[in-house]
């Protein structure tokens, strides 16, 4: 059994997403196995492109299944508190002080990160800097090529 420090914090939605991905892969598996068996029945395997492709597809599915299962095994759902402290699962609206642009992000576990959806990981430079802070505070982010500052405007449980 993994040690508690070995677990990766994740939101409830992220956990459900992993479960859905695993279920979808498990549902596809019998079809991939049937395609492989049919291709194998066509004779000479050394020159059977259909067999090679089916084997590769099944191997890819199995690899994804192992990856998501391992992520789920080490995931620990963290419920955000009802406070104004920046924490995993909460939405944070910030103003970048260099150009005064505003942005809203949800702080999520590493396996949930999706910048296009406004989800940043807690281990990203911005995520690390925001953790534990309150609205009204200004934090400095140490990014690989420069430092910059943001002001925390709002922290909320759900995006309104």
Burial label for 77, CB within 10 Å (0-12, 13-18, 19+), is: middle
pLDDT by residue (tens digit) across 67-118?
999 999 999 999 888 899 999 999 999 999 999 999 999 999 988 999 999 9
Classify residue 99 by its DSSP letter: T
Structure token digits, residue 18: 């992993």
pTM for the model stands at 0.77
Q: Reduce the DSSP state of residue 153 to 3 states and report it.
A: strand
pLDDT by residue (tens digit) across 54-70?
999 999 999 999 999 99
Rounded Cα distance between 60 and 9, Å, is 27
Count the residues in the chain: 160
């Amino acid at each position: 059994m993994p040690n508690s420090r070995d677990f990766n914090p994740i939101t409830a939605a992220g956990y459900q997403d992993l479960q859905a991905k695993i279920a979808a892969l498990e549902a596809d598996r019998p079809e991939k196995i049937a395609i492989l068996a049919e291709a194998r029945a066509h004779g000479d395997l050394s020159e059977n492109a259909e067999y090679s492709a089916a084997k590769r597809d099944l191997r890819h599915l199995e690899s994804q299944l192992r990856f998501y299962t391992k992520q789920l095994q080490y995931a620990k759902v963290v419920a955000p508190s009802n406070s104004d402290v920046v924490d995993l699962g909460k939405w944070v609206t910030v103003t970048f002080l260099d150009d005064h642009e505003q942005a809203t992000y949800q702080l999520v576990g590493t396996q949930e990160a999706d910048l296009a959806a406004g989800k940043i990981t807690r281990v990203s430079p911005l995520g690390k800097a925001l953790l534990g802070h309150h609205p009204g505070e200004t934090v400095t982010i140490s990014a690989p090529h420069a430092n910059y500052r943001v002001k925390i405007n709002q922290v909320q449980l759900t995006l309104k």
